[in-house]
Amino acid sequence: MNSSEKKLRPWVKGFFYLSGSVFLSGIFLGSALGVSLSSLESHAIKTSFWELFTHNVKVCLFILIIGGVTGSIYSYFIIFINGFLIGKLLCFLYSIRELKQVISGLLPHFFFEVFGLMIFSTLSSLPLFIGYQMLRTENYQLSAKFFRVLFYGLLIGFVLIFIAALIEVKISKVNF
């Protein structure tokens, strides 16, 4: 195992934690800025599993591709906006005394979707890793470990997004 392979794991781990931190800061800021939502009726449109899943896959692919091109900036922007909107939603539900909707409407699929988005955000940082390694080493070559991380990251990310969409359509319910 060469030295760049040893550096891949902490790199991936660090960017995964950074994604989580950006998401949590979005929730905090969205909550701190107060309520501006007037209702959720326009947002509670019933969609099919495939519509929801393909929408989430498109978001993940945009995170992966555009995030990879922008040095993960786009990825963190999307993660932050998702957190910000959840913060606004929590604040709104609190203001109308309906926080119980979080348990039935958000929590069943929340962790699957957020971890899926965080994985794609982390994968979008891999071009930064490659660039960094190319600057440090003249003959940098992508290792089998790099491709395993990419393959399993994509696989796990898509599975999490699939499970999240399935749970969101079949289990998550908002009752107003």
- Interatomic CA distance for residues 101 and 175, integer angstroms: 7
- Interatomic CA distance for residues 36 and 29, integer angstroms: 13
pLDDT digits (tens, 9 = 90+) for 94-126: 888 888 888 888 889 999 999 999 999 999 999
DSSP string, 25-93: HHHHHHHHT------SGGG-----HHHHHHHHHHHHHHHHHHHHHTTTHHHHHHHHHHHHHHHHHHHHH
**Does 71 have pLDDT greater than 80?**
yes
pLDDT digits (tens, 9 = 90+) for 30-50: 999 876 766 555 455 678 899
Scan for tokens 């908002």, then name that residue: 174
CB 160 within 8 A of CB 115: yes
**Residue 42, pLDDT score:** 47
CB 16 within 8 A of CB 118: yes
**Residue 7, pLDDT score:** 78
Scan for tokens 């699939």, then name that residue: 162
- Interatomic CA distance for residues 156 and 76, integer angstroms: 19
**Does 140 have pLDDT greater than 80?**
no
pLDDT digits (tens, 9 = 90+) for 149-164: 999 999 999 999 999 9
